[in-house]
Structure formats: C-alpha cells, structure tokens
Amino acid sequence: MFKKNYRYQIMFMMVIMVIINYIDRGAISYAQADIIKEYGFDPISWGAVLGYFGFGYLFGSLFGGFMADKKGPKFVWILVGIGWSVFVIATAFAGDIGLALFGGSALTGFAVIRILFGFAEGPTFSTINKTNANWATPKERGFAVSMGLLGTPLGAMLTAPAAVLLLSFTSWKIMFLILGSLGIIWVFFWARMFTDLPEDNPKVSKEELEKIRSVKDLLPNEKVVNPDDHSIKWYHFFKNPTLVFNAFGYFAFQYINFLLLTWTPKYLQDQFGFQLSSLWYLGMIPWIGACFTVLLGGKISDYLRMKTGSLRIARSGLAVVSLALTAICFMLIPTADSIMGVMILMCIGNAFNSLPNSVYWSVVIDTEPSRAGTYGGITHFITNTATIIAPILTGFLVVSYGYSAMFTAAAVAAAIGMLCMIFVKPGQRQKDGKLKKAMA
C-alpha cells in the first residue's frame, strides 16, 4: 500500500536511531563517578576512557562510507546496528574483562570495548548521507540532512535524564544492558521498512518517486544521484579543496559536540559541586537550543539556496557566520561568574554550533551525490579525529590549567573551522574546475 511522503518516515526512523546512538555513547559520562570509584581512574585516565571511542569511530566512519556505496545502506544499517548494541552491552563488563584478560588492567578492557563500540557506531552518519542522497528530493537536501542530524542534540539532551533515571533505579552495568537492547529493537523495525532505493520500496508511490528523482529544481552546479556512475574514485576526494576544507570545518562542530557530551557532567560536579540527582536537568541545558537550530539550519540553507541560487552562500556562508558566533560564546564562558551565566552561554554557543550541522553533509551531496557514502565516510573520518582529541586533550588541559582552558580550546576550534569554511565552494565540478552544465 502506497503511503504519502514515505521518505519522511525513513527520515524519522533515522532520527530515532541517532537518539539511541547518542544516549549509548553519552551515558558513560553520567556513570563516571561509579566507574572511577570502582576502578580508580584519575582525570587523565578517564579522559582516555572517553577518547578510546574516537579511535574506533574514525575507522568505522570510513568503513561505513565505503560499504554503503558498495553493499548498499541497508546492509550497513543492519550490520552496525547489531554491532553497536552488542558492544554497548559489553561496556558493562569492560573493566572486568580488562582485569581478567589484559594483565589486570581495567583501562585496557575499556580501551578494547570502547574502540569496538566506536567502530560499530562510526558508519552512522556516512550511511545517513548515502540514504539521504538516495531518498531526498534535490530541493530538500538541507532539511533531509538536518532531520537525520536532529538526533544528535536531541539524543545528547535526552542522555542526561535517561542515564540519571536508569542510574537512580539500577546499577551502571544494568544501564548498559538496557541501552544495548534498544538498538536491537530499532534494527528489527528498520529492516522491515527500509530499502536501499525508493524505487525498490512498495510503499513509495510513483508520484513520490518522481519528486525524488526530479531535476526541475536543480541549480546549474547540481545533479541527482546516479547509481551507475563509477567514474568517480575515492581518492578524487583529496583533489577537491572544497571537500577537504569542508571536512576540517566539520571538525570544529564535532570537537565542541563531543567535548560537551563527555565532559559536561564531570565539569558540573567538580566545578560547582552538583550531585548526580541534579545532572538530569543541568545536562540537558546545553542541548536545548541545538535541538531547534539543527532543523532551522537545514531550512535556512535550503531557503538561501532557492533565494540566492548560490550554494556557497547557502552552505559555507551559513557555516562561517555560525562558527564565528560559536567561538565568541565559548570564549566568554570563562568570564561568567555564575552557573546560570555558564549554562546560558553553553546553550547559545552550542545552538550556533549546531545551526550549520546539515551544511557539512549537504556539501558532500551537492558536490558528488553518487559517492555520498564514500565521501561522507572520508569526511567523517577526518572530522572524528575530534572525538579523540577533544576528551583526551581536555583531560590534560583540566589538570594543567583548569576547566576554563577547555572552553578556550573550544573557541579556538570554532575559529579554525570558520576559516576553513571560507574556502568551501559546493557543487559538482569537472576536473578542470569548471562547473558542469545543468542536467537537461
């Protein structure tokens, strides 16, 4: 039976999946007091525990992008969905595994499980990008990407109440068992409703398929996905300055995103003396604005695209302004003399940081939709160096200079990202640098 705008149901299911992802990866930050007490980690070791996730995430994103193009996104979704759920469950036993199998080192146990967990979650966003390239209409690419990314701040915001609630009634180990089960449930429903291409889905009407494949609203430097185009190789990514600078611009977002996700609970406990019972609502505050701006950014970007006819204004222009405002907010946080001032600045700064989140993925689709998975994976690989650098560097900065240094580092990351996005010129290009002609 046909369903009107079935692609929106696909987008909604991806939002649910990203929410589960982010709760899975952020819950450990709220269990930090119990884990540190049980295994005796110091701040630097704890920063390493948080950072190990990023080592796997780096290579997982690269693997996912290639596999989404080669085997199709459905294959990747099912494989990694089961994988990350298993390793979330295994996190409950990570320290004991290290003590039993790795020379009595609980830290090594967490290293192994967190790296494998990160690898399993790594393909998420590059596979989302491939899915959107296959399913979204050209004029709603920004919105489609932002829908998938909505789960990022929403999941991060819901992590605090979900983790605190579970920790209030169960142990931290039981919490991970419950969270891992949610991912398996999602995979079951996703496998029943998703196909790699809308052409293969019996619930997609002919009218909707015509919208998805329409070339009527394309700009001169855009095109729709062509599954049979094998002329573009993976290494062409590095020959395109737009894609390279876009990846480094995205690094700024991920640095701030992962910094807040992993270190906010400990910062609030150490700096202001809050107990776990208070973190369920304080941990939500930095993400409230971002839940709105991540969608708003996709809409603004699509509006600017239609209004100006310029992808550079719609994508990189929006990112440059947003990152500049992000840097200002985080630079001001160390000057705030109250918890209210700190939380307001964190909320506003993160809202500006999330505003162009869809831009970085849209640039990849704009520039080469037929390799959205592979190029998205390479972009995410470069970007996700931040998931290692942010938590580990923060551990050293906190020990050496105090918590104010971590916000200064976030502002510097945003400024670097802003400079990179100035050089981003989205769009499909020929090897000689000239824009390809519009499709007939």
Instruction: Kindly report which listed range (58-67, 108-117, 173-182) carries the lowest average pLDDT score.
Output: 58-67
Find the CATH number of the domain harbouring 287: 1.20.1250.20
Type of residue at 384: N
Predicted confidence band of residue 373 (pLDDT cuts 50, 70, 90): confident
349 in any annotated domain: yes
- Whether the model clears a pTM of 0.85, i.e. scores above it, the answer is no
Is the predicted pLDDT of residue 227 greater than 80, yes or no?
no
Q: What is the largest CA-CA distance in the chain?
A: 66
For residue 219, the model assigns a pLDDT of 65
Inside any domain, residue 296: yes
Q: Are 322 and 356 spatial neighbours (Cβ–Cβ below 8 Å)?
A: yes
Whole-number pLDDT of residue 97:
94
pLDDT at 437 exceeding the cut of 50:
no
- List residues bridging with 435 in a β-sheet: 429
The answer on pLDDT for 438 being more than 50 is no
In a domain, 102, yes or no: yes
Q: How many CA atoms within 13 Å lie on the side-chain side of 36?
A: 16
Region of poorest pLDDT, from 26-30, 162-166, 237-241, 424-428: 424-428
Give the residue numbers spanning the domain of 350.
6-198+236-422
pLDDT at residue 230, as a whole number: 59
pLDDT, tens only, 75-105? 999 999 999 999 999 999 999 999 999 988 9
In percent, how much of the chain has pLDDT > 90?
46
| 184 part of a folded domain | yes
Q: What is the identity of the amino acid at 258? A: F
Q: Is residue 75 part of a domain?
A: yes
Rounded-to-integer distance, Cα 392 and Cα 406, Å: 11
Q: Could you give the C-alpha distances from 275 to 13, 31, 183, 269, 282, in angstroms and in order?
A: 34, 12, 29, 6, 11
370 touches 225 (CB < 8 A): yes
**Highest mean pLDDT of the ranges 268-277, 341-350, 368-377:** 341-350
Q: List the structure tokens of 115.
A: 């790296």
Total of domains in the chain:
1
Cα within 13 Å of Cα(165), Cβ side: 9
- Whether the per-residue pLDDT at 137 is higher than 50: the answer is yes
Q: Please, what is the end-to-end C-alpha distance for the chain in angstroms?
A: 32
**Predicted confidence band at 129 (pLDDT cuts at 50, 70, 90)?**
confident
Quick check: 292 pLDDT over 80? yes
Instruction: Judge whether residue 23 has pLDDT over 60.
Output: yes
Give tens-digit pLDDT for 177-212: 999 999 999 999 999 999 999 999 999 988 888 888
Task: Look at residue 210 and tell me if it is in a domain.
Answer: no
Q: Could you tell me if residue 256 is inside a domain?
A: yes
The conformation of residue 423, written as its DSSP 8-state character, comes to T
Q: Determine the pLDDT at residue 433.
A: 43
Measured CA to CA, the distance from residue 433 to residue 22 in angstroms comes to: 39
How confident is the prediction for the chain on average, in pLDDT? 87
DSSP single-letter state for residue 435: B
429 belongs to a structural domain: no
Average pLDDT (312-339) is 94
* Residue-level pLDDT at 323: 97
- Give the whole-number percent of the chain exceeding pLDDT 70: 93
Query: 91-100, 331-340, 420-429: which has the minimum mean pLDDT?
Result: 420-429
